Homo-oligomer: A and B are copies of this chain.
Amino acid sequence: MGTRNPFEPSEVVSRRGGAVKQPLSRDAIVAEALEQLTRDGLESMSLRKVAAALETGPASLYVYVHDLDELEALVFDRALTRVSLRGAKPKDWRERVKGLLTSYLKVLAASPGLAQLAFRRAAVGPNALRIVDALLGEFAGAGVDRRTAAWAVDLLLLYVTAQGAEQGQRGNDPENDQFKPEGAVMRAIRGVSAQQYPHIHAARAELVSGPTQRVDWALDSILNGIAPASRSHGKARSPETKPARSQGRVGQ
């Protein structure tokens, strides 16, 4: 076996003309798997259930998909189709970056466990690449040097994906309405003793407050740390004195 690109479109689509039922295909398999993931969570997605839903035996899927790993990668990338790369385009490039990342986060949070796939086997499909490319383009357009841009995109995507993994934990079950995603964390933090963890105790309210604002704040902070101040054309900001750089290493 040489190196195989799982994202290469497969030519195998239909067998036999008449379609009484959906013909088995890679696309149908991935679509069904994503639907199961979105509906019931990562743990409820399985090759066997996909096969059953498509009315075949589990062995049949291996013609179209090499592995569960490969299926997961394909599912992840297919979900990224929902990320809007070209939505409203604000003037400020920072806002465009934030808009893209926010859309990405929304997609991750919508399907419980989806973000975890990003941390399993390397899932770098065409849609992920499109997102990375778009982000790099924004930084390049803003005049950020290549290495800073590359590392910034890495940082931003890792943070948002992690946030998505935390937000996309199970909790979509109508039966389990009481066990909200943040439930356990919140309870643990609220119940912390002032003696053992004085700083957590003091900040317990802030630690569990507004996830949405928090992400917004985080993205602003990161962007601010990476490319401080700005000569974003259009709005001239009052010039701060040369923004404090961290010590040397940052480069260029």
Contacts and interface: CB of A to CB of B under 8 A. Distances in A.
Interface of A: 3, 84, 87-88, 90, 92, 94-96, 98-99, 102-103, 115-116, 119-122, 124, 126, 129-130, 132-134, 136-137, 140, 146-147, 149-155, 158-159, 161-163, 165-166, 169, 181, 183-185, 187-189, 192, 196-200, 202-203, 206-207, 209, 213-214, 216-218, 220-226, 228-232, 235, 237, 239, 241-252
- The residue in A116, A120, A161, A243 that gathers the most chain B C-beta atoms within 10 A of its C-beta is A243
B241 A217 contact: yes
A130 B94 CA distance: 35
Contact of A217 (B188, B220, B237, B250): B250
Contact of A132 (B200, B225, B232): B200
Nearest to A88: B251
B88 A203 contact: no
- The residue in A102, A140, A242 that gathers the most chain B C-beta atoms within 10 A of its C-beta is A242
Contact of A209 (B147, B152, B245): B147
A151 B241 CA distance: 25
Contacts of A155: 159, 218, 221-222
Contact of A90 (B140, B159, B221, B251): B251
Given A134-B199, A222-B225, A224-B245, 10 more contacts: A3-B187, A95-B250, A151-B206, A155-B221, A213-B241, A221-B250, A224-B244, A228-B228, A229-B244, A230-B244
Contact of A133 (B94, B198, B232, B239): B198
Given A121-B169, A206-B147, A133 B228 contact: no
